[in-house]
């Protein structure tokens, strides 16, 4: 035997067996220091409790023992004291950057971005993307499903371009309110089409809609004339021509409303619905000026410019008080910049006018209200209803998948995502499809499927930093250290991403390596991250967000004294920031200052004001775990999840290491059916 005794001992066979399933895998090097770290890592992996974490075959185990993965080329070690000294000397610009709180923060932002990305079919989103590969799987057209394409502008006046989208949106909402057909939401339709001219067959193939409504509008003197068509895509046959409908250009809303009524009548007749059996509740469409400001807000939202997006949405709502969508999306923008009071106010106003929203958007309003209060279970229920109201809706599918991730229901999230074909729009033009899918697979523990899908995503988006991070995370979980180094080498050369930096990716992959038992590799990843941050321009290093990321990396790398110096300064500058107070609490606990740590924990429990979505209680759980109050820590962790903290980051958290053998912790983290 390598160390002269078995890995688990006890007074009886039952005790030994129990320890095998509850106690952490013991380190060989603790009993025999001369054992190489690579051998220690191989033995620990062979003894892993989860089958997916062990070697797949005895041959692979033997190979690891005989020729362990090479240690990466030494990375110049970032001296922690030197980094802190440099940062202490910098002036702090007020950048307004909210401190990141790790992987959970990134997933929350991506989920927020969803609202904007699926609404935007503009050039900025589509031009940057390669032409999608054609999927060979056949699409079944749904008999009673209808998609409305943006109307074609034939006025030669580009200032009137938004009218085409306004017309299709308004007809779509009328069809949804009438309730006699399955209606493809405008976001899915616009993403499916991109900037390409209408192809009835292509739109039908992307959406599964048998009936396609399309049309044109043009100027005749001072008037706008609209013409609509209804085509059966399964027969490639034009069934109805509606119009022309004419109105003065200054009052185009009247013409759009009249055209909508005629389209509803035509589609209802084709589906054998009598006119008295349905009604569209909303009246005139919004003004063109309001719709244009709303469209600008959507473009800002897509770029993660949430403050600018919120301002445009508010301007849109002021221009037309009957236009409710800007209130809904303005609330989503403010949620993403933690202006929860503003978001709550907008959602309350929107709720009073919910009858002006389509059925699908009413459920989306319910989703956002639930998410605002951290009630992701209620949000998931609303997302399910949203998908029932608009089958096949890309918005509903993605919203449901993210909320399933938040409440630890990965199987439901994966199942709904697989309704979308990743080689066809809209999934093909929504890069975060791969982020949420691989996160769900990771939560399920299916790391091989996660790696396969992450690699698929990288083939589609080889220059996207977050997609590379998805792949590196799966490789880290599978113990493929050498491949992880190759990915981290690639990180440096990728374009900047609004959701993450190379340093962030290195830190996150380090936490993943450590969570799966490879402490030496984790230390190397943290060193790489610190070096990357140290190489940033001084102005970037001096920002609140820049210094917070360095401090977080110092903490996970075990440089606790240096981390504390930075967090103390950050806490003085931002005394209301929960994260900085939380870090000072866990640092006190790790330094053996129990009284100080518990004082911080109590102060977090006394917080009043806007809901922090469980963040304060999560920090209390981390502090309790580190001072040895394990069962109370599990209770606090459970409360934080109920208050809105997301599940995913918990499995990475080293502060919870002492909890992992507790049955109460294991039950809390068990995947929900």
Residue 402 lies in a domain: no
Q: Which two tokens stand for residue 1?
A: 């035997």
The token duo for 663 is: 């049955």
Instruction: Decide if 640 contacts 621 (C-beta within 8 A).
Output: yes
Domain assignment of residue 425, yes or no: no
* DSSP-derived secondary structure letter, 497: B
- DSSP class of 651: G
Each residue's pLDDT tens digit, 390-416: 887 888 899 999 999 999 999 999 999
Q: What is the pLDDT of residue 250?
A: 78
Based on the domain organization, do 237 and 347 belong to the same domain? no
C-alpha–C-alpha distance, residues 306 and 297, integer Å: 9
How many of the other CB atoms lie within 10 Å of CB of 12? 8
The reply to whether 91 falls in a domain is no
Spatial neighbors of 105 by CB under 8 A, at least 6 apart, are none
pLDDT at 340: 84
What is the structure's pLDDT at 75? 45
The partner residues of 246 in beta bridges, in order of sequence, read: 225
Q: Is 231 helix (H, G, I), strand (E, B) or coil?
A: strand
Q: Looking at the domain assignment, is residue 545 inside a domain?
A: yes
Q: Pick the last residue of a domain from 243, 272, 301.
A: 272
Residue 642 lies in a domain: yes
Buried b (16+ CB within 10 A) or exposed e, 343-373: bbebbebbbeeeebbbbbbbbbbbbbbbbbe
pTM attached to this predicted model = 0.72
Ranges of the chain whose pLDDT falls below 70:
1-38, 40-41, 44-45, 47-139, 273-284, 609-611
CA dihedral 256→262→264→269, nearest 10 degrees, is -170
> Which residues lie closer than 8 Å to 170 by C-beta, 6 or more apart?
256, 257, 260, 282, 285
| Alpha-carbon gap, residue 173 to 175, rounded angstroms | 5
Instruction: Verify that 153 and 215 share a domain, yes or no.
Output: yes
Q: Which two tokens stand for residue 314?
A: 């508010």
Pair 197, 322 in one domain: no
- Residue 338: CATH number of its domain: 1.25.40
Domain count, the chain: 4
Examine the domain organization and report whether 256 and 307 are in the same domain: no
Name, in order, each residue with C-beta under 8 angstroms of 355's C-beta and a sequence gap of 6 or more: 281, 282
Q: Note whether 255 and 303 are same-domain residues.
A: no
Q: Which residues of 539-552 are buried (b: 16+ CB within 10 A; e: fewer)?
A: eebbbbebbbbbbb
* Cα–Cα dist 336/432, whole Å: 17
Separation of CA 529 from chain center: 23
Q: What are the CA-CA distances from residue 668 to residues 105, 174, 638 (Å)? A: 21, 45, 7
224 with 246: CB under 8 angstroms? yes
Residue 19 structural domain: 13-66
**What are phi and psi for residue 304, nearest 5 degrees?**
65, 20
Beta strands in 179-278 (DSSP E): 182-183, 209-220, 223-232, 237-248
What three-state secondary structure class fits 477? Answer: helix
Residue 67: what pLDDT?
Answer: 54
Structural contact between residues 364 and 372, judged by C-beta atoms closer than 8 angstroms: no
Do 224 and 322 lie in one domain? The reply is no
Q: Is residue 160 part of a domain?
A: yes
Residue 173 sits in the same domain as residue 268: yes
Q: Of 272, 300, 333, which marks where a domain is finished?
A: 272
Same domain, 543 and 603: yes
Give me Rg for the CA atoms of the chain: 28
Position 643 in a domain: yes
Q: Which of 307, 323, 357 is the last residue of a domain?
A: 357
Q: Read off the pLDDT of residues 103-162 as tens digits, 9 standing for 90 and up.
A: 344 444 444 434 444 433 333 333 333 333 444 455 688 888 999 999 999 998 888 888
| Pair (238, 302) in one structural domain | no
36 within some domain: yes
CB 346 within 8 Å of CB 311: no
Across 102-171, the runs of DSSP E, i.e. the strands, are: 142-148, 152-153
660 and 540 fall within a common domain = yes
Report the DSSP beta bridge partners of residue 227. 216
Q: How many CA atoms lie within 13 A of 541 on its CB side?
A: 19
Residue 237 belongs to a domain with what CATH number?
Answer: 3.40.50.10610
CA-based end-to-end distance of the chain: 42
The pLDDT score that the predictor gives to residue 97 is: 46
- CA separation for the pair 360, 400 (Å, rounded): 13
Same domain (yes/no): 219, 312: no
Q: Give the residue from 384, 441, 394 showing the smallest Cα distance to 419.
A: 394
Q: What is the CATH number of the domain that holds 576?
A: 1.25.40.10
- 149 contact partners, CB below 8 Å, separation of at least 6: 168, 189, 193, 198, 203, 212, 213, 214, 215
Reference 570, options 560, 562, 581, 561; nearest CA is: 581
In this structure, the answer to whether residues 156 and 240 fall within a common structural domain is yes
C-alpha distances in Å from residue 463, one per residue of 199, 454, 466, 490, 663:
30, 13, 9, 10, 43
């Amino acid at each position: 035997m390598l160390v002269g005794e078995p890995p688990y001992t006890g007074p009886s066979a039952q005790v030994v067996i129990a320890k095998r399933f509850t106690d952490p895998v013991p380190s060989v090097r603790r009993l025999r220091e001369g054992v190489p770290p690579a051998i220690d890592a191989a033995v620990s992996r062979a003894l892993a409790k989860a089958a997916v974490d062990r070697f797949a075959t005895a041959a692979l185990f033997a190979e690891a023992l005989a020729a362990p993965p090479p240690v990466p080329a030494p990375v110049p070690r970032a001296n922690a004291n030197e980094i802190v000294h440099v940062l202490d000397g910098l002036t702090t610009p007020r950048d307004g950057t909210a401190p990141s709180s790790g992987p959970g923060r990134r997933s929350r932002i991506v989920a927020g971005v969803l609202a904007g990305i699926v609404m935007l079919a503009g050039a900025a989103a589509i031009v940057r993307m390669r032409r999608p590969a054609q999927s060979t799987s056949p699409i079944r057209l749904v008999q009673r499903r209808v998609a409305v394409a943006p109307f074609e502008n034939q006025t030669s006046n580009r200032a009137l371009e938004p009218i085409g989208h306004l017309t299709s949106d308004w007809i779509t909402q009328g069809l949804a309110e009438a309730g006699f057909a399955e209606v493809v939401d405008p976001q899915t339709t616009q993403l499916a089409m991109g900037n390409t001219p209408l192809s009835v067959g292509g739109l039908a193939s992307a959406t599964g809609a048998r009936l396609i409504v399309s049309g044109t509008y043009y100027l005749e003197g001072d008037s706008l004339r609209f013409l609509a068509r209804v085509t059966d895509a399964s027969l490639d046959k034009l069934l109805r021509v509606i119009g022309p409908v004419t109105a003065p250009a200054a009052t185009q809303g009247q013409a759009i409303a009249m055209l909508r009524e005629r389209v509803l009548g035509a589609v209802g007749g084709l589906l054998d619905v009598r006119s008295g059996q349905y009604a569209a509740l909303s009246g005139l469409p919004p003004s063109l000026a309001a719709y244009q400001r709303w469209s600008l807000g959507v473009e800002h939202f897509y770029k993660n410019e949430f403050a600018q997006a919120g301002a445009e949405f508010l301007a849109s709502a002021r221009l037309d008080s009957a236009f409710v969508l800007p209130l809904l999306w303005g609330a989503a923008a403010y949620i993403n910049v933690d202006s929860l009071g503003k978001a709550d106010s907008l959602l309350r106003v929107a709720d009073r006018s919910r009858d002006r929203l389509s059925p699908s958007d009413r459920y989306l309003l319910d989703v956002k209200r639930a998410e605002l209060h951290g009630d992701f279970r209620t949000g998931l229920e609303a997302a399910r209803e949203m998908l029932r109201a608009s089958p096949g809706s890309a918005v509903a599918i993605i919203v449901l998948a993210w909320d399933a991730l938040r409440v630890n229901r990965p199987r439901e999230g994966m199942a709904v995502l697989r309704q979308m074909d990743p080689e066809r729009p809209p999934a093909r033009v929504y890069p975060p499809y791969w982020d949420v899918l691989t996160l769900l697979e990771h939560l399920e523990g299916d790391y091989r499927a996660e790696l396969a899908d992450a690699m698929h995503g990288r083939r589609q988006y080889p220059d996207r930093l977050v997609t590379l991070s998805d792949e590196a995370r799966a490789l880290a979980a599978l113990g493929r250290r050498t491949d992880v180094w190759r990915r981290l080498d690639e990180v440096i050369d990728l374009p900047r991403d609004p959701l993450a930096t190379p340093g962030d990716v290195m830190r996150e992959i380090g936490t993943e390596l450590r969570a799966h038992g490879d402490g030496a590799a984790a230390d190397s990843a943290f060193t790489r991250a610190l070096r990357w941050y140290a190489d940033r321009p001084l102005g970037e290093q001096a920002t609140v967000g820049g210094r917070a990321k360095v401090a977080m990396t110092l903490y996970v790398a075990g440089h606790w004294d240096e981390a504390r110096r930075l967090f103390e300064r950050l806490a003085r500058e931002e005394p209301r920031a929960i994260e900085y107070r939380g870090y000072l609490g866990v640092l006190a606990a790790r330094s053996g200052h129990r009284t100080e740590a518990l004082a911080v924990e109590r102060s977090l429990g006394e917080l009043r004001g806007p809901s922090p979505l469980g963040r304060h209680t999560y920090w209390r759980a981390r502090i309790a775990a580190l001072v040895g109050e394990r069962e109370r820590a599990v209770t606090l962790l459970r409360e934080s999840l109920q208050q809105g903290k997301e599940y995913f980051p918990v499995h990475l958290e080293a502060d919870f290491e002492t909890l992992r053998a507790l049955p109460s912790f294991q039950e809390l983290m068990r995947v929900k059916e």
